[in-house]
Each structure stands twice: as C-alpha cells, then as structure tokens.
Structure 1
C-alpha cells in the first residue's frame, strides 16, 4: 500500500457544554454577594455594640459629674441662702446690737459650714487624684485609737452615749499617713455618735489577725436599711438627710473615709441592721516592727 496517497481529509473537535460552569459561577457570585451583606450587617452591629461599650464609662462619668454638680449646688444653696437672709435682717435692724450679735453668730456658723464643705471637697479630690506625695510612715494604731477615744469621750458624754474602746495589748503598726488615718477613724466615730440615740453604746476595737490590723466602730444606733448600704459611701449621700444637715454634716465623711482606706490599700465595709445598729470595719495591712 502506498502511504503517500493517505492525505488528511479533516479534523475531529471534542468539547463540552459550559452551562454547568456558568451555573456554578452564578451560585458563587450570589454566595459572595449574600455573604458580603451578612458580613456588612455583622460588622455594623458589632461596631455599634463596641462603640456603646466604649462610651459607657464616658456616659457614667458624665452622669456622676452631673450628680456631683447638683449635689454641690444643693449643699451650697442652703448656707448661702441663710447667709443672705441674715445679712438682709441685719440691714433691716439697724443699730439693735443685741439682735445683731445673734445674727452675726448665724453668719459665722454658716460661714464655717461653707468652709468645712470646701475643705472636705478639696481633700476628697486630692485623695482620688492621689496628688499627695507625702511618703507613708509607720503609725501606731494603738495610740491613734486611744487618742480618738479620749477626744470624743466628752462629746459622747454630752450626748448621753457610752463610748468605750477595746485595744489589743500588743502594739500594732501600719504604714500610712497618720493624719489621714486619724481623719478616717474620726469620721467613723463622729458618724456613730450622730446616729446613736441617748443611752446607746459605741465600742471602738483594735485587733490583729495574721498580716491585717482591724479597727471596728460598733454602735447601737438607728442602723442603715439594707437597700441603702451600698450607697452610704457615695458623696453627699445621707440615710437621714434632715438629721445630718441639722448636725452640720457635709455628707462627705464616709466618702472621705472610703477614699483614705483605698489609698492605704485597705478595705472599709459596713454591716448594719435597721433599728439595731451598725459596725464599720477597717482592714489594713499591719507592720510588725517600726523599722522593719
């Protein structure tokens, strides 16, 4: 057979339909589009939630600032109104010296109240901002409790209250600012005397447990309702607002005590039963030796 006569007579083309590929591509396109919108919605919701979470401290701080401003305005308004009314009364009286002296005493009393309020606000701000650079020194808590018991004894006797102390015979020291710790315990005792009726008892105790020194101020006063115990350390909060204002309190005593305790890395807590009394407990790290 002659191979030269075998010439090419055509070609064969093999192919397949692309319909299935087009369908798959279309499905992928829809999946990507739907996935994009779902992801966009998810990112939007997440961003909204995260922004709200990030703004929460700002909202909280703003609300506290508003409340603080309202409280300060309320506290300042009462003595200022009294001062203005007294000055107006003096102006109307003319030269009546006897009545004028009484009104001047009122002015002095309200002025001192304003001065105490401003002093307490400045102290509280200093404590919260930790602006004081005064280094901590060893403080003898035995002497502190003894001195405060003696200082408030006359006040308690005048109020017909039995004030006693129970102090550990072992010397107990802590590192801290003695004047601030003195103010802390002083505020607790003063608060107990104000809210303990005549014939009541107040016991100030100092004990030592392991690495902690514990000071307790226990009274048989009016007590604190359970639903208000979490708020008594807030600025200007009063369980009995009328009585505290009558005694000249600024509403900052317990807030200052709490701030001092926190600055000394201590814990100030309260246990109270309405109508039976309260126990304020300060736990602070003790120091076994003066020069340890």
Structure 2
C-alpha cells in the first residue's frame, strides 16, 4: 500500500504541476510559431495600407486641380481664352492621372514570376537598338548627348519584349529628366558570366547617399518639388525593378551627388 500511495502522490503531483506547465509550454510555442507565420501576412497588409494611402494621396491633388479649373472656367464672365487655358489644364491633368492609374494597375497585375511557357526568345540587342533610335531623336530637343554602345552580335534570352522595353524606357526617361543641358546619357549592353547586363549612365544631378536605399520604393521621390515639375509619381523605378525581378534578374544603382548615376540591370541568359 505504501508503494501504491507513493505512486498515486507522484501522479497527483504530475497532474497538478506537470500538465499545466506542459500546456503552457505548448501554448507559448504555438503563439511564437503563429507570430512567425503571420509576419509575412502582416507585412503584406501594412504594405497594402501604405500603398493605398500613397495612391489616394497622389490622386487627390490632380482631382482637386481638375475640379478647380472646371469651376473657374464656368464662372461668368466667360472668357474664351481663359476657358481654353482651363480646359488645357484639365486635359493635361487627366493625362497625368491616366498615367498614374496605368502604373498602379501594372504594379498590381504583374506580380510574381513569369511562367516559362509565356516567354519567347528575343534579341536584346534589337530591342535596345530600337529604343536607342527613339531616344537619340529626343536628345537634341533637350540639348543632351546620347550614345548607345551595343554589340553587333545578338544576345538572346527568353523574355517579354514589351516589358523589357518598359523597364529600360523608365531608366532612360529618368536619366533624360535629371541630366542638365549639355549633359551625357549612355546606354550600354554587354554579357558578363551568364548574365546580360544593361547599363544606363548619366552625368546628371546624382542621388544623395541617404536616398539610395529607397529609390526603388513605390512613390518615393528624392526631390518632391522637382519630381512634380517633371511629371513624376515615383513609380518608374519600382516598375523597372518589378519587371527585372520577375525574370530572376537584379537592378542596382551607383550614384554620386552632382556627378551622375549608373543604373544596371542584370538578366540571366536562359533559353
């Protein structure tokens, strides 16, 4: 009976202390693992909230501009010249809003990696050569020197030609915007190891080192006033990065304030 009593006491002691401690450890472990599992969802939710707030903020200003111009144009006395000016402002603002909405739709739709079956072999040299011709025609109007350094032999990879064009156009457009008159913009293409490398170089105003980690963030502007004057919404680089990352590539930047910037796209050569 003594041995049985001792066994019962030990069982009672385990039930009194061991079971609650065990459940407590299980609960704490579950809470910790649940928190780890929820982190990506919470981060995505926070990014969605920030993105929605930024988009609403960007759309509020042009909507107010359209409304104010329409109201002034309707005020008597009706001056045809004044009305025409107001209508031109409305058209320009509407175009700007359309560009913003298209960029937002692009960012929301083109998410994740590409399906290999939807890609076709394209010649990167041919794509960049056509872009170089377009920007070479624009350079004289902005008093810029534009040069393209492209290899004679084709550089083939599987891609969507239109999306690749869009990524490079965004980089060249930025270079043209932020390079002063008589400045230089260069487009380079070469292969390095198993990658095709595209470089867009300029000797423009450059980017402060404190801003470099954030320039690929959506709606981020190094200089808000200057960006608004040039019609930028801070989405061009985010779109370029999203396109490049979908190909398993990488986009980087080196810049010095007052000396210029070099944006580099590295794309894996896969056929």
Return the TM-score normalized by structure 2: 0.89
1:252 aligns with 2:216: no
Provide the residue aligned with 1:35 in structure 2: 18
Give yes or no for the alignment of 1:109 onto 2:97.
Answer: no
Aligned counterparts of 2:227 and 2:117: Cα–Cα separation in 1 = 32
C-alpha distance in 1, partners of 2:66/2:235? 22
Q: Aligned residue for 1:84? A: 67
CA separation of 1:149/1:49 partners in 2, compared to 1, >3 Å: closer, same or farther?
Answer: same
Deviation at 1:61, TM superposition (A): 1.5
Counterpart residue number, 2:168: 185
Identify if the C-alpha distance between structure 1 residues 47 and 150 changes in structure 2 by more than 3 Å, giving closer, same or farther. same
Residue 31 of structure 1: CA displacement? 4.4
Give 1:93 deviation, angstroms.
4.5
Shift of 1:127: 1.1
* 8 Å contact kept, 2:114–2:247: no
Aligned to 1:143: 126
Contact 2:100/2:233 (<8 A) preserved: yes
Per-residue CA deviation, residues 87-108 of structure 1 (Å, 9 max, x unaligned), is 0110114431111111111111
Q: Secondary structure at the match of 1:226?
A: coil
Is it true that 1:58 corresponds to 2:41 in the alignment?
Answer: yes
1:207 paired residue number: 190
Structure 1 gap segments, 5+ residues each: 1-17
CA distance in 2, matches of 1:126, 1:105: 32
Residue in structure 1 matching 2:52, options 64, 69, 78: 69
Which residue number corresponds to residue 29 of structure 2?
A: 46
Confirm or deny: 8 A CA contact 1:168 1:208 kept in the other structure.
Answer: no
Structure 2 CA distance for partners of 1:93 and 1:220, relative to 1, 3 Å:
farther
When structure 1 is superposed on structure 2, of 174-183 and 135-144 the one drifting more is 135-144
Q: What do residues 230-275 of structure 1 show as CA deviations (whole Å, max 9, x unaligned)? A: 3222221212222112111232111111121122232222222333
Q: Residues 155 and 93 (structure 1 numbering): CA distance in 2 closer, same or farther, change over 3 Å?
A: farther
Tell me by how many angstroms 1:187 deviates: 0.4
Over 3 Å counting, the alpha-carbon distance change for 1:130 and 1:20 in structure 2 is closer
Residue 265 of structure 1: SS of its match in structure 2? Answer: coil
Structure 2: segments with no counterpart, 5+ residues: none
Aligned to 2:176, what secondary structure does the other structure show?
Answer: helix
Cα drift, residue 28 of structure 1: 5.3
The residue matched to 1:230 in structure 2 has which SS?
Answer: helix
1-side partners of 2:116 and 2:101: how far apart? 21
Give 1:126's aligned residue.
109
Deviation, 1:56, is 1.5
Deviations 1:120-150 (A, max 9, x none): 1222222116799993222222222222222
Match of 2:156 in 1: 173
Relative to structure 1, the CA distance from residue 131 to residue 97 in structure 2 (aligned partners, 3 Å threshold; closer, same or farther) is: farther
CA distance in 2, matches of 1:155, 1:82: 29
Per the TM alignment, residue 45 of structure 1 is displaced from its structure 2 partner at its CA by 1.3
Counterpart-to-counterpart distance in 1, 2:134 and 2:155: 20
User: Which residue pairs with 1:99 in the alignment?
Assistant: 82
Report if the CA contact (8 A) 1:139-1:176 is conserved. Answer: yes
- Note closer, same or farther for the CA distance 1:234–1:43 as it changes in structure 2 (3 Å cut): same
Q: 2:247 and 2:4 mapped to 1: Cα distance?
A: 74
2:112–2:246: 8 Å Cα contact kept in structure 1?
Answer: no
Q: Select the structure of larger CA radius of gyration.
A: 1
Number of residues paired by the alignment? 271
SS of the residue 1:92 aligns to: coil
